[in-house]
Structure 1
Amino acid sequence: MDEQPDILLTNDDGIDAPGIRALYDALTEVGSVTVVAPDRNQSAVGRSLSYGRTSDETDDPDGFTLDLEESSFTSPVPHTDHELGYAVNGTPCDCAIVGVNALESDPDLVVSGCNAGANLGTYVFSRSGTVSAAMEAAFLGTPSIAVSMDTLGMESDLEPADFERAGETAATLARDTHETGLFDRIDYLNVNVPRPDLDTGEFELTRPTEVYEMDATFEEGGFQLTNRLWQQMANRDIPDPEDTDRHALLAGAVSVSPMRVPYEVVKTDAVRTILERVL
Protein backbone atom coordinates (compact mmCIF):
# COMPACT_ATOMS: atom_id res chain seq x y z
CA MET A 1 0.00 0.00 0.00
CA ASP A 2 1.16 3.57 -0.63
CA GLU A 3 0.64 4.87 2.89
CA GLN A 4 0.50 2.97 6.15
CA PRO A 5 -2.35 3.80 8.54
CA ASP A 6 -1.84 5.50 11.88
CA ILE A 7 -3.22 3.02 14.41
CA LEU A 8 -4.24 3.71 18.00
CA LEU A 9 -4.01 0.55 20.11
CA THR A 10 -5.75 0.16 23.46
CA ASN A 11 -7.29 -2.59 25.60
CA ASP A 12 -9.01 -3.27 28.91
CA ASP A 13 -6.64 -5.90 30.36
CA GLY A 14 -3.96 -3.29 31.00
CA ILE A 15 -0.94 -2.14 29.05
CA ASP A 16 1.26 -4.98 30.31
CA ALA A 17 -1.14 -7.75 29.24
CA PRO A 18 0.25 -10.26 26.71
CA GLY A 19 -2.64 -9.71 24.30
CA ILE A 20 -1.83 -6.06 23.66
CA ARG A 21 1.86 -6.87 23.17
CA ALA A 22 0.93 -9.45 20.52
CA LEU A 23 -1.27 -6.96 18.68
CA TYR A 24 1.39 -4.27 18.92
CA ASP A 25 4.01 -6.54 17.36
CA ALA A 26 1.64 -7.57 14.56
CA LEU A 27 0.23 -4.12 13.82
CA THR A 28 3.64 -2.44 13.62
CA GLU A 29 4.20 -4.52 10.48
CA VAL A 30 1.34 -2.76 8.70
CA GLY A 31 1.06 0.67 10.30
CA SER A 32 2.38 3.27 12.70
CA VAL A 33 1.13 2.23 16.14
CA THR A 34 0.61 4.37 19.23
CA VAL A 35 -0.51 2.66 22.43
CA VAL A 36 -2.77 4.43 24.91
CA ALA A 37 -4.01 1.82 27.38
CA PRO A 38 -5.05 1.49 31.04
CA ASP A 39 -2.21 1.10 33.51
CA ARG A 40 -4.06 -1.80 35.17
CA ASN A 41 -6.81 -4.29 34.48
CA GLN A 42 -10.06 -2.51 33.59
CA SER A 43 -12.11 -5.49 32.43
CA ALA A 44 -15.90 -5.30 32.35
CA VAL A 45 -16.05 -1.56 33.09
CA GLY A 46 -18.15 -1.03 29.96
CA ARG A 47 -18.29 2.51 28.62
CA SER A 48 -17.54 4.15 31.96
CA LEU A 49 -15.39 7.29 32.05
CA SER A 50 -13.19 8.89 34.67
CA TYR A 51 -14.69 12.24 33.68
CA GLY A 52 -16.25 13.99 36.67
CA ARG A 53 -14.64 11.66 39.21
CA THR A 54 -11.06 12.88 39.20
CA SER A 55 -11.34 16.62 39.79
CA ASP A 56 -9.61 17.88 42.93
CA GLU A 57 -11.96 20.80 43.36
CA THR A 58 -15.71 20.73 43.74
CA ASP A 59 -18.35 22.94 45.25
CA ASP A 60 -20.39 20.00 46.41
CA PRO A 61 -19.39 17.12 48.72
CA ASP A 62 -21.26 14.69 46.46
CA GLY A 63 -19.05 15.60 43.53
CA PHE A 64 -21.33 18.00 41.65
CA THR A 65 -20.41 21.58 40.87
CA LEU A 66 -22.57 24.56 39.97
CA ASP A 67 -19.61 26.48 38.55
CA LEU A 68 -20.13 27.01 34.82
CA GLU A 69 -16.55 28.03 34.07
CA GLU A 70 -14.90 25.99 31.31
CA SER A 71 -12.57 24.31 33.80
CA SER A 72 -15.57 22.81 35.55
CA PHE A 73 -16.13 20.54 32.56
CA THR A 74 -12.57 19.23 32.47
CA SER A 75 -11.15 16.31 34.44
CA PRO A 76 -7.51 15.19 34.51
CA VAL A 77 -6.60 11.72 33.25
CA PRO A 78 -3.22 10.87 34.83
CA HIS A 79 -0.72 8.87 32.80
CA THR A 80 2.87 7.65 32.80
CA ASP A 81 5.16 6.99 29.87
CA HIS A 82 5.52 3.33 28.92
CA GLU A 83 7.77 1.52 26.47
CA LEU A 84 4.71 0.93 24.26
CA GLY A 85 3.27 4.42 24.61
CA TYR A 86 1.13 5.82 27.42
CA ALA A 87 -0.17 4.01 30.50
CA VAL A 88 -3.34 5.79 31.58
CA ASN A 89 -4.90 5.78 35.02
CA GLY A 90 -8.37 5.49 33.54
CA THR A 91 -10.84 3.37 31.65
CA PRO A 92 -10.65 1.97 28.10
CA CYS A 93 -13.05 4.67 26.92
CA ASP A 94 -10.83 7.32 28.51
CA CYS A 95 -7.98 5.88 26.45
CA ALA A 96 -10.00 5.92 23.24
CA ILE A 97 -11.02 9.55 23.74
CA VAL A 98 -7.47 10.62 24.62
CA GLY A 99 -6.00 8.69 21.72
CA VAL A 100 -8.44 10.02 19.15
CA ASN A 101 -8.37 13.65 20.30
CA ALA A 102 -5.22 14.50 22.26
CA LEU A 103 -2.34 13.03 20.27
CA GLU A 104 -0.32 14.92 17.70
CA SER A 105 -1.74 12.94 14.77
CA ASP A 106 -5.30 11.68 14.42
CA PRO A 107 -5.49 7.89 14.10
CA ASP A 108 -6.93 6.34 10.96
CA LEU A 109 -8.01 3.30 12.98
CA VAL A 110 -8.46 2.25 16.61
CA VAL A 111 -7.77 -1.36 17.60
CA SER A 112 -8.85 -2.59 21.04
CA GLY A 113 -7.44 -5.85 22.41
CA CYS A 114 -6.52 -8.53 22.28
CA ASN A 115 -8.76 -9.42 25.17
CA ALA A 116 -8.05 -12.62 27.10
CA GLY A 117 -11.55 -14.07 26.82
CA ALA A 118 -14.20 -13.90 24.12
CA ASN A 119 -16.65 -11.01 23.85
CA LEU A 120 -19.71 -12.57 22.28
CA GLY A 121 -23.35 -11.59 22.07
CA THR A 122 -25.40 -8.44 22.17
CA TYR A 123 -25.25 -8.33 25.95
CA VAL A 124 -21.50 -7.67 26.02
CA PHE A 125 -21.57 -4.43 24.10
CA SER A 126 -22.45 -2.35 27.14
CA ARG A 127 -20.28 -4.40 29.49
CA SER A 128 -17.00 -5.25 27.80
CA GLY A 129 -14.23 -2.70 28.15
CA THR A 130 -12.62 -4.06 24.97
CA VAL A 131 -15.71 -3.57 22.81
CA SER A 132 -16.58 -0.31 24.57
CA ALA A 133 -13.26 1.28 23.60
CA ALA A 134 -13.92 0.40 19.96
CA MET A 135 -17.47 1.68 20.22
CA GLU A 136 -16.29 4.93 21.84
CA ALA A 137 -13.91 5.52 18.95
CA ALA A 138 -16.70 4.82 16.48
CA PHE A 139 -18.95 7.37 18.19
CA LEU A 140 -16.08 9.85 17.78
CA GLY A 141 -15.97 9.14 14.05
CA THR A 142 -12.89 6.90 13.96
CA PRO A 143 -13.27 3.36 12.59
CA SER A 144 -12.29 0.64 15.01
CA ILE A 145 -11.80 -3.06 15.61
CA ALA A 146 -12.33 -4.92 18.90
CA VAL A 147 -10.31 -8.15 19.06
CA SER A 148 -10.84 -10.90 21.66
CA MET A 149 -9.71 -14.51 22.01
CA ASP A 150 -11.48 -17.46 23.60
CA THR A 151 -9.37 -18.69 26.51
CA LEU A 152 -11.74 -21.15 28.19
CA GLY A 153 -9.84 -24.32 29.01
CA MET A 154 -6.38 -22.81 28.59
CA GLU A 155 -4.66 -23.72 31.83
CA SER A 156 -1.19 -22.19 31.44
CA ASP A 157 -0.35 -18.52 31.84
CA LEU A 158 -0.91 -16.67 28.59
CA GLU A 159 2.02 -15.41 26.55
CA PRO A 160 2.06 -13.08 23.54
CA ALA A 161 2.67 -16.12 21.32
CA ASP A 162 -0.76 -17.48 22.30
CA PHE A 163 -2.32 -14.47 20.55
CA GLU A 164 -0.52 -15.00 17.25
CA ARG A 165 -3.73 -15.72 15.30
CA ALA A 166 -5.38 -12.66 16.84
CA GLY A 167 -2.43 -10.51 15.82
CA GLU A 168 -2.45 -11.85 12.27
CA THR A 169 -6.19 -11.20 11.96
CA ALA A 170 -5.94 -7.68 13.37
CA ALA A 171 -3.02 -6.84 11.07
CA THR A 172 -4.83 -8.20 8.00
CA LEU A 173 -7.95 -6.19 8.77
CA ALA A 174 -5.97 -3.04 9.61
CA ARG A 175 -3.98 -3.25 6.38
CA ASP A 176 -6.70 -4.23 3.94
CA THR A 177 -9.73 -2.40 5.30
CA HIS A 178 -7.68 0.80 5.07
CA GLU A 179 -7.84 0.36 1.27
CA THR A 180 -11.18 -1.35 0.63
CA GLY A 181 -13.63 1.28 1.86
CA LEU A 182 -15.19 -1.16 4.34
CA PHE A 183 -15.47 1.56 6.99
CA ASP A 184 -17.50 3.67 4.61
CA ARG A 185 -20.25 1.11 5.22
CA ILE A 186 -19.73 0.18 8.88
CA ASP A 187 -18.42 1.81 12.06
CA TYR A 188 -16.56 -0.99 13.84
CA LEU A 189 -15.82 -4.71 13.83
CA ASN A 190 -16.20 -7.08 16.76
CA VAL A 191 -13.72 -9.90 16.15
CA ASN A 192 -13.44 -13.08 18.21
CA VAL A 193 -10.64 -15.56 17.66
CA PRO A 194 -10.84 -19.22 18.77
CA ARG A 195 -8.45 -20.90 21.15
CA PRO A 196 -5.17 -21.68 19.33
CA ASP A 197 -5.68 -25.44 19.60
CA LEU A 198 -9.24 -25.22 18.21
CA ASP A 199 -8.55 -22.88 15.29
CA THR A 200 -9.74 -24.25 11.94
CA GLY A 201 -8.25 -21.40 9.93
CA GLU A 202 -11.69 -20.32 8.73
CA PHE A 203 -13.61 -17.10 9.30
CA GLU A 204 -17.34 -16.43 9.48
CA LEU A 205 -19.27 -13.22 8.99
CA THR A 206 -21.58 -13.19 12.00
CA ARG A 207 -24.13 -11.34 14.06
CA PRO A 208 -23.90 -11.15 17.87
CA THR A 209 -25.92 -13.90 19.48
CA GLU A 210 -28.97 -12.86 21.44
CA VAL A 211 -28.73 -15.88 23.74
CA TYR A 212 -28.07 -14.67 27.29
CA GLU A 213 -28.41 -16.81 30.37
CA MET A 214 -27.44 -15.40 33.74
CA ASP A 215 -28.93 -17.17 36.74
CA ALA A 216 -29.26 -16.09 40.37
CA THR A 217 -30.05 -18.05 43.50
CA PHE A 218 -30.31 -17.42 47.22
CA GLU A 219 -28.36 -20.10 49.07
CA GLU A 220 -27.20 -20.36 52.67
CA GLY A 221 -28.09 -16.75 53.39
CA GLY A 222 -26.43 -15.23 50.34
CA PHE A 223 -27.01 -14.42 46.68
CA GLN A 224 -25.07 -16.19 43.97
CA LEU A 225 -24.78 -15.48 40.26
CA THR A 226 -24.12 -18.20 37.69
CA ASN A 227 -23.21 -17.42 34.10
CA ARG A 228 -24.98 -20.18 32.17
CA LEU A 229 -23.70 -18.75 28.89
CA TRP A 230 -20.07 -19.30 29.84
CA GLN A 231 -20.94 -22.62 31.43
CA GLN A 232 -22.28 -23.75 28.06
CA MET A 233 -19.17 -22.46 26.32
CA ALA A 234 -16.92 -24.37 28.71
CA ASN A 235 -18.86 -27.52 27.80
CA ARG A 236 -18.60 -26.59 24.10
CA ASP A 237 -22.37 -26.48 23.79
CA ILE A 238 -23.66 -24.41 20.86
CA PRO A 239 -27.36 -23.54 21.29
CA ASP A 240 -27.05 -20.47 19.05
CA PRO A 241 -28.10 -20.08 15.40
CA GLU A 242 -25.42 -20.86 12.82
CA ASP A 243 -24.94 -17.23 11.73
CA THR A 244 -24.02 -16.03 15.23
CA ASP A 245 -20.66 -15.18 16.74
CA ARG A 246 -20.72 -17.84 19.44
CA HIS A 247 -21.64 -20.60 17.01
CA ALA A 248 -18.77 -19.64 14.70
CA LEU A 249 -16.22 -19.35 17.50
CA LEU A 250 -17.07 -22.70 19.08
CA ALA A 251 -16.83 -24.27 15.62
CA GLY A 252 -13.23 -23.06 15.48
CA ALA A 253 -13.69 -20.10 13.13
CA VAL A 254 -12.75 -16.46 13.57
CA SER A 255 -16.00 -14.55 14.12
CA VAL A 256 -16.24 -11.13 12.47
CA SER A 257 -19.31 -9.02 13.26
CA PRO A 258 -19.49 -5.76 11.26
CA MET A 259 -21.37 -3.18 13.30
CA ARG A 260 -22.79 0.31 13.29
CA VAL A 261 -23.09 2.29 16.49
CA PRO A 262 -24.53 1.60 18.81
CA TYR A 263 -25.39 -2.09 18.26
CA GLU A 264 -26.58 -2.56 14.68
CA VAL A 265 -25.01 -5.46 12.79
CA VAL A 266 -24.34 -4.87 9.09
CA LYS A 267 -24.30 -8.00 6.92
CA THR A 268 -24.94 -6.62 3.44
CA ASP A 269 -23.61 -8.28 0.30
CA ALA A 270 -21.10 -5.45 -0.15
CA VAL A 271 -19.68 -5.92 3.35
CA ARG A 272 -19.57 -9.69 2.90
CA THR A 273 -17.71 -9.35 -0.41
CA ILE A 274 -15.07 -7.05 1.09
CA LEU A 275 -14.47 -9.23 4.15
CA GLU A 276 -14.32 -12.43 2.12
CA ARG A 277 -11.69 -10.81 -0.11
CA VAL A 278 -9.72 -9.53 2.89
CA LEU A 279 -9.85 -12.62 5.07
Structure 2
Amino acid sequence: MSDGPEILLTNDDGIDAPGIATLRTELTALGDVTVVAPDANQSGVGRTRSHTARIREHPWGYRLSGTPADCVAYGLRGLETDFDVVVSGVNNGPNAGNYVVGRSGTVGAGIEAAFLGTPALAISAYHSTDFFLSPPEEYDFARPARIAARLVSRALESGVYDDVDLLNVNAPVDASSPPVILTEPYHDYGQHVEPADLETLDDGVIDANGGELAADEQLVHLHDRTWPGVVGWENPFPPTDEHRERYPVGTDRRAMVDASVSVSPLAVTHASPDSAALAEVVETIDVE
Protein backbone atom coordinates (compact mmCIF):
# COMPACT_ATOMS: atom_id res chain seq x y z
CA MET A 1 0.00 0.00 0.00
CA SER A 2 1.26 3.49 -0.83
CA ASP A 3 0.64 6.73 0.99
CA GLY A 4 -1.07 8.17 -2.07
CA PRO A 5 -4.77 8.23 -3.00
CA GLU A 6 -6.89 5.20 -3.79
CA ILE A 7 -7.68 5.52 -7.50
CA LEU A 8 -10.42 3.73 -9.44
CA LEU A 9 -9.48 3.64 -13.14
CA THR A 10 -11.86 2.92 -16.02
CA ASN A 11 -12.43 3.89 -19.66
CA ASP A 12 -14.89 3.42 -22.53
CA ASP A 13 -12.52 1.99 -25.16
CA GLY A 14 -12.23 -1.31 -23.32
CA ILE A 15 -9.71 -2.78 -20.90
CA ASP A 16 -7.39 -3.86 -23.74
CA ALA A 17 -7.10 -0.34 -25.23
CA PRO A 18 -3.63 1.26 -25.21
CA GLY A 19 -4.77 4.48 -23.52
CA ILE A 20 -5.81 2.86 -20.23
CA ALA A 21 -2.57 0.87 -20.03
CA THR A 22 -0.49 4.03 -20.34
CA LEU A 23 -2.65 5.90 -17.84
CA ARG A 24 -2.42 3.07 -15.31
CA THR A 25 1.38 3.23 -15.49
CA GLU A 26 1.38 6.95 -14.72
CA LEU A 27 -1.18 6.70 -11.92
CA THR A 28 0.65 3.87 -10.10
CA ALA A 29 3.39 6.39 -9.32
CA LEU A 30 0.73 8.53 -7.62
CA GLY A 31 -1.26 6.01 -5.57
CA ASP A 32 -2.91 2.61 -5.46
CA VAL A 33 -4.78 1.92 -8.72
CA THR A 34 -7.64 -0.53 -9.18
CA VAL A 35 -8.91 -1.01 -12.73
CA VAL A 36 -12.55 -1.81 -13.43
CA ALA A 37 -13.05 -1.41 -17.16
CA PRO A 38 -15.39 -2.67 -19.89
CA ASP A 39 -14.73 -5.95 -21.67
CA ALA A 40 -15.21 -4.27 -25.04
CA ASN A 41 -15.53 -0.84 -26.60
CA GLN A 42 -18.37 1.20 -25.06
CA SER A 43 -17.81 4.54 -26.79
CA GLY A 44 -20.76 6.91 -27.01
CA VAL A 45 -22.92 5.28 -24.33
CA GLY A 46 -22.89 8.31 -22.00
CA ARG A 47 -23.79 7.32 -18.44
CA THR A 48 -26.03 4.41 -19.50
CA ARG A 49 -26.39 1.79 -16.76
CA SER A 50 -27.19 -1.92 -16.95
CA HIS A 51 -29.25 -4.06 -14.58
CA THR A 52 -26.73 -6.90 -14.58
CA ALA A 53 -23.12 -7.35 -15.65
CA ARG A 54 -20.58 -10.17 -15.76
CA ILE A 55 -17.39 -9.64 -13.76
CA ARG A 56 -14.08 -11.38 -14.34
CA GLU A 57 -10.82 -10.87 -12.50
CA HIS A 58 -7.98 -9.20 -14.37
CA PRO A 59 -4.32 -8.70 -13.37
CA TRP A 60 -5.11 -4.99 -12.90
CA GLY A 61 -8.46 -5.52 -11.18
CA TYR A 62 -11.64 -6.48 -13.00
CA ARG A 63 -13.15 -6.56 -16.47
CA LEU A 64 -16.88 -6.03 -16.73
CA SER A 65 -19.40 -6.77 -19.47
CA GLY A 66 -21.27 -3.46 -19.10
CA THR A 67 -20.75 0.26 -19.60
CA PRO A 68 -18.20 2.66 -18.06
CA ALA A 69 -20.88 3.85 -15.62
CA ASP A 70 -21.49 0.21 -14.65
CA CYS A 71 -17.76 -0.14 -13.98
CA VAL A 72 -17.80 2.88 -11.69
CA ALA A 73 -20.92 1.70 -9.88
CA TYR A 74 -19.35 -1.70 -9.26
CA GLY A 75 -16.03 -0.21 -8.19
CA LEU A 76 -17.50 2.31 -5.76
CA ARG A 77 -20.27 0.14 -4.31
CA GLY A 78 -19.20 -3.45 -5.04
CA LEU A 79 -15.62 -3.33 -3.76
CA GLU A 80 -14.45 -2.74 -0.21
CA THR A 81 -11.92 -0.05 -1.16
CA ASP A 82 -12.78 3.53 -0.22
CA PHE A 83 -11.68 5.33 -3.38
CA ASP A 84 -10.52 8.96 -3.30
CA VAL A 85 -10.97 9.65 -7.01
CA VAL A 86 -12.19 8.06 -10.24
CA VAL A 87 -10.11 8.53 -13.40
CA SER A 88 -11.49 7.66 -16.83
CA GLY A 89 -9.37 7.32 -19.98
CA VAL A 90 -7.14 7.91 -21.77
CA ASN A 91 -9.88 8.05 -24.39
CA ASN A 92 -8.99 7.40 -28.01
CA GLY A 93 -10.16 10.73 -29.43
CA PRO A 94 -11.37 14.02 -27.91
CA ASN A 95 -14.51 14.71 -25.92
CA ALA A 96 -15.05 18.41 -26.45
CA GLY A 97 -18.21 20.42 -27.00
CA ASN A 98 -21.31 20.38 -24.85
CA TYR A 99 -23.17 17.69 -26.78
CA VAL A 100 -20.20 15.37 -27.20
CA VAL A 101 -19.37 15.63 -23.50
CA GLY A 102 -22.91 14.58 -22.62
CA ARG A 103 -22.77 11.53 -24.89
CA SER A 104 -19.26 10.35 -24.00
CA GLY A 105 -18.81 7.09 -22.14
CA THR A 106 -15.50 8.42 -20.82
CA VAL A 107 -17.24 11.41 -19.27
CA GLY A 108 -20.24 9.26 -18.32
CA ALA A 109 -18.02 7.30 -15.96
CA GLY A 110 -17.10 10.55 -14.21
CA ILE A 111 -20.74 11.59 -13.98
CA GLU A 112 -21.64 8.29 -12.31
CA ALA A 113 -18.79 8.85 -9.84
CA ALA A 114 -20.05 12.33 -9.01
CA PHE A 115 -23.56 11.09 -8.30
CA LEU A 116 -22.01 8.51 -5.96
CA GLY A 117 -20.07 11.22 -4.14
CA THR A 118 -16.58 10.62 -5.53
CA PRO A 119 -14.61 13.25 -7.49
CA ALA A 120 -13.50 12.31 -10.99
CA LEU A 121 -11.35 13.24 -13.95
CA ALA A 122 -11.99 12.24 -17.57
CA ILE A 123 -9.00 12.46 -19.90
CA SER A 124 -9.21 12.27 -23.70
CA ALA A 125 -6.48 12.50 -26.32
CA TYR A 126 -6.35 14.06 -29.77
CA HIS A 127 -3.72 14.76 -32.44
CA SER A 128 -3.42 18.40 -33.48
CA THR A 129 -3.14 17.44 -37.17
CA ASP A 130 -4.69 13.98 -37.51
CA PHE A 131 -7.29 14.76 -34.80
CA PHE A 132 -8.71 11.21 -34.57
CA LEU A 133 -6.29 8.60 -33.26
CA SER A 134 -6.85 5.74 -35.68
CA PRO A 135 -5.55 3.16 -35.27
CA PRO A 136 -4.82 4.00 -31.61
CA GLU A 137 -1.87 1.59 -31.41
CA GLU A 138 0.13 3.95 -33.64
CA TYR A 139 -0.08 6.86 -31.17
CA ASP A 140 1.68 7.58 -27.90
CA PHE A 141 -0.71 8.30 -25.01
CA ALA A 142 2.08 9.11 -22.56
CA ARG A 143 1.68 12.89 -22.52
CA PRO A 144 -2.10 12.94 -21.89
CA ALA A 145 -1.57 10.29 -19.20
CA ARG A 146 1.10 12.38 -17.45
CA ILE A 147 -1.09 15.46 -17.61
CA ALA A 148 -4.00 13.53 -16.10
CA ALA A 149 -1.87 12.21 -13.23
CA ARG A 150 -0.54 15.68 -12.42
CA LEU A 151 -4.01 17.21 -12.52
CA VAL A 152 -5.41 14.50 -10.25
CA SER A 153 -2.63 15.03 -7.72
CA ARG A 154 -2.87 18.82 -7.68
CA ALA A 155 -6.68 18.87 -7.67
CA LEU A 156 -6.87 16.53 -4.67
CA GLU A 157 -4.20 18.46 -2.77
CA SER A 158 -5.60 21.93 -3.44
CA GLY A 159 -9.27 21.29 -2.67
CA VAL A 160 -10.49 21.72 -6.25
CA TYR A 161 -13.08 19.02 -5.69
CA ASP A 162 -14.71 21.02 -2.92
CA ASP A 163 -16.34 23.05 -5.72
CA VAL A 164 -16.06 20.80 -8.79
CA ASP A 165 -17.57 17.36 -9.43
CA LEU A 166 -15.65 16.39 -12.54
CA LEU A 167 -12.73 17.64 -14.62
CA ASN A 168 -13.05 16.98 -18.35
CA VAL A 169 -9.62 17.18 -19.98
CA ASN A 170 -8.55 17.00 -23.63
CA ALA A 171 -4.82 16.79 -24.34
CA PRO A 172 -2.81 16.57 -27.59
CA VAL A 173 -0.53 13.58 -28.10
CA ASP A 174 1.83 15.41 -30.45
CA ALA A 175 2.51 18.87 -28.94
CA SER A 176 5.77 18.84 -26.97
CA SER A 177 4.88 21.55 -24.42
CA PRO A 178 1.18 22.36 -24.81
CA PRO A 179 -0.25 25.17 -22.68
CA VAL A 180 -2.93 24.17 -20.17
CA ILE A 181 -6.10 26.26 -20.51
CA LEU A 182 -9.11 26.57 -18.22
CA THR A 183 -12.12 26.07 -20.51
CA GLU A 184 -15.82 25.40 -20.76
CA PRO A 185 -17.57 23.07 -23.25
CA TYR A 186 -18.69 24.91 -26.38
CA HIS A 187 -22.20 24.38 -27.75
CA ASP A 188 -21.80 23.47 -31.40
CA TYR A 189 -24.23 20.79 -32.52
CA GLY A 190 -26.70 20.05 -35.28
CA GLN A 191 -28.83 17.19 -36.55
CA HIS A 192 -29.57 16.10 -40.13
CA VAL A 193 -32.53 13.82 -40.83
CA GLU A 194 -33.07 12.04 -44.15
CA PRO A 195 -35.05 9.05 -45.43
CA ALA A 196 -33.15 5.78 -45.29
CA ASP A 197 -32.58 3.51 -48.25
CA LEU A 198 -34.86 0.49 -48.09
CA GLU A 199 -34.68 -2.91 -49.66
CA THR A 200 -38.02 -4.40 -50.71
CA LEU A 201 -38.24 -8.18 -50.42
CA ASP A 202 -41.03 -10.69 -51.07
CA ASP A 203 -41.76 -10.94 -47.36
CA GLY A 204 -41.90 -7.21 -46.73
CA VAL A 205 -39.70 -4.17 -46.36
CA ILE A 206 -36.72 -4.48 -44.01
CA ASP A 207 -34.16 -2.02 -42.79
CA ALA A 208 -30.39 -2.43 -42.97
CA ASN A 209 -30.40 -4.32 -39.66
CA GLY A 210 -32.95 -6.86 -40.83
CA GLY A 211 -35.88 -5.49 -38.86
CA GLU A 212 -39.19 -5.69 -40.72
CA LEU A 213 -41.13 -2.45 -41.16
CA ALA A 214 -44.89 -2.28 -40.93
CA ALA A 215 -46.88 -0.79 -43.81
CA ASP A 216 -47.41 2.48 -41.93
CA GLU A 217 -43.75 2.86 -40.89
CA GLN A 218 -40.80 4.53 -42.53
CA LEU A 219 -37.11 4.44 -41.77
CA VAL A 220 -35.01 7.59 -41.34
CA HIS A 221 -31.34 8.23 -40.72
CA LEU A 222 -30.46 10.63 -37.88
CA HIS A 223 -27.01 12.12 -38.47
CA ASP A 224 -25.35 13.94 -35.58
CA ARG A 225 -23.42 17.06 -36.55
CA THR A 226 -21.09 16.86 -33.57
CA TRP A 227 -18.05 17.99 -35.57
CA PRO A 228 -19.21 20.94 -37.73
CA GLY A 229 -18.20 21.22 -41.36
CA VAL A 230 -16.46 17.84 -41.41
CA VAL A 231 -16.45 15.45 -44.34
CA GLY A 232 -15.25 11.98 -43.43
CA TRP A 233 -12.52 11.88 -40.78
CA GLU A 234 -10.80 15.21 -41.44
CA ASN A 235 -9.71 17.47 -38.59
CA PRO A 236 -12.69 19.68 -37.60
CA PHE A 237 -10.44 22.11 -35.69
CA PRO A 238 -7.44 22.98 -37.88
CA PRO A 239 -5.29 25.93 -36.77
CA THR A 240 -6.82 28.48 -39.15
CA ASP A 241 -8.03 32.05 -38.67
CA GLU A 242 -11.55 30.91 -39.60
CA HIS A 243 -11.67 28.42 -36.75
CA ARG A 244 -10.09 30.82 -34.28
CA GLU A 245 -12.84 33.31 -35.08
CA ARG A 246 -15.53 30.62 -34.73
CA TYR A 247 -14.47 29.36 -31.31
CA PRO A 248 -13.90 31.93 -28.53
CA VAL A 249 -10.87 31.82 -26.28
CA GLY A 250 -11.80 29.88 -23.16
CA THR A 251 -13.77 27.16 -24.93
CA ASP A 252 -12.59 23.57 -25.16
CA ARG A 253 -12.81 23.56 -28.95
CA ARG A 254 -10.69 26.71 -29.27
CA ALA A 255 -8.07 25.01 -27.09
CA MET A 256 -7.89 22.20 -29.62
CA VAL A 257 -7.53 24.66 -32.50
CA ASP A 258 -4.49 25.98 -30.61
CA ALA A 259 -3.13 22.47 -29.78
CA SER A 260 -3.60 23.13 -26.06
CA VAL A 261 -4.77 21.12 -23.08
CA SER A 262 -8.36 22.03 -22.22
CA VAL A 263 -9.49 21.59 -18.61
CA SER A 264 -13.25 22.04 -18.14
CA PRO A 265 -14.65 21.90 -14.58
CA LEU A 266 -18.14 20.44 -14.55
CA ALA A 267 -21.00 20.29 -12.06
CA VAL A 268 -22.85 17.14 -13.02
CA THR A 269 -25.50 16.61 -10.34
CA HIS A 270 -28.13 18.71 -12.15
CA ALA A 271 -28.15 21.61 -9.69
CA SER A 272 -31.24 23.77 -10.09
CA PRO A 273 -30.67 27.31 -11.42
CA ASP A 274 -32.50 30.21 -9.81
CA SER A 275 -35.39 31.40 -11.99
CA ALA A 276 -37.62 34.20 -10.80
CA ALA A 277 -39.79 33.69 -13.89
CA LEU A 278 -40.32 30.01 -13.09
CA ALA A 279 -41.09 30.81 -9.44
CA GLU A 280 -43.81 33.20 -10.61
CA VAL A 281 -45.26 30.59 -12.98
CA VAL A 282 -45.37 27.94 -10.24
CA GLU A 283 -47.06 30.36 -7.83
CA THR A 284 -49.80 31.21 -10.35
CA ILE A 285 -50.61 27.71 -11.67
CA ASP A 286 -54.29 26.89 -11.20
CA VAL A 287 -54.77 23.14 -10.78
CA GLU A 288 -58.59 23.22 -10.49
Q: How high is the TM-score relative to the length of structure 1?
A: 0.78
**SS of structure 1 residue aligned to 2:143:** helix
Question: Which has the larger displacement, 179-188 or 255-264?
Answer: 255-264
1:211 aligned partner, one-letter code: D
Question: 2:6 touches 2:84 (CA, 8 Å); kept in 1?
Answer: yes
Residues 1:261 and 2:259 are matched in the alignment: no
Q: How do 1:66-215 residues align onto structure 2 when only pairs under 5 Å count?
A: 76-151=52-127, 152-153=130-131, 157-159=135-137, 162-194=140-172, 196-198=173-175, 200-215=177-192
- Counterparts in 2 of 1:198 and 1:218: CA distance versus 1, 3 Å: farther
**SS of structure 2 residue aligned to 1:134:** helix
Q: How do 1:236-275 residues align onto structure 2 when only pairs under 5 Å count?
A: 236=238, 237-238=243-244, 239-262=246-269
* Structure 2: gaps spanning 5 or more residues: 199-219, 272-288
1:225 aligned partner, one-letter code: H
Relative CO higher for 1 or 2, CA cutoff 8 Å, sep ≥ 6?
Answer: 1
Q: CA deviation at 1:224?
A: 6.3
2:227 aligned partner, one-letter code: L
Query: 1:219 & 1:81 partners in 2: Cα distance?
Result: 43
Query: 2:73 & 2:118 partners in 1: Cα distance?
Result: 10
Please say which structure displays the higher CA radius of gyration.
2
Q: How high is the TM-score relative to the length of structure 2?
A: 0.76
Identity between Structure 1 and Structure 2 (%): 44
Q: What is residue 19 of structure 2 aligned with on the other side?
A: 19
Query: 2:94 & 2:179 partners in 1: Cα distance?
Result: 17
2:4 aligned partner, one-letter code: Q
Question: 2:38 touches 2:67 (CA, 8 Å); kept in 1?
Answer: yes
Q: CA deviation at 1:173?
A: 1.4
Q: What is residue 49 of structure 1 aligned with on the other side?
A: 49
Which whole-Å deviations, capped at 9, do the CAs of 1:34-73 have from their partners, x for residues lacking one? Answer: 000000001101111111xxxxxxxxxxxxxxxxxxxxxx
Which whole-Å deviations, capped at 9, do the CAs of 1:203-258 have from their partners, x for residues lacking one? Answer: 10001001213333447667462636254543623422111001012211100001
- Counterparts in 2 of 1:235 and 1:206: CA distance versus 1, 3 Å: closer
**Structure 1 residue runs of 4 or more that deviate by more than 6 Å after TM superposition:** 219-222
Question: Which has the larger displacement, 234-243 or 28-37?
Answer: 234-243
- Counterparts in 2 of 1:83 and 1:254: CA distance versus 1, 3 Å: same
Question: 2:189 touches 2:224 (CA, 8 Å); kept in 1?
Answer: no
Query: 1:87 & 1:167 partners in 2: Cα distance?
Result: 21
Query: 2:11 & 2:124 partners in 1: Cα distance?
Result: 10
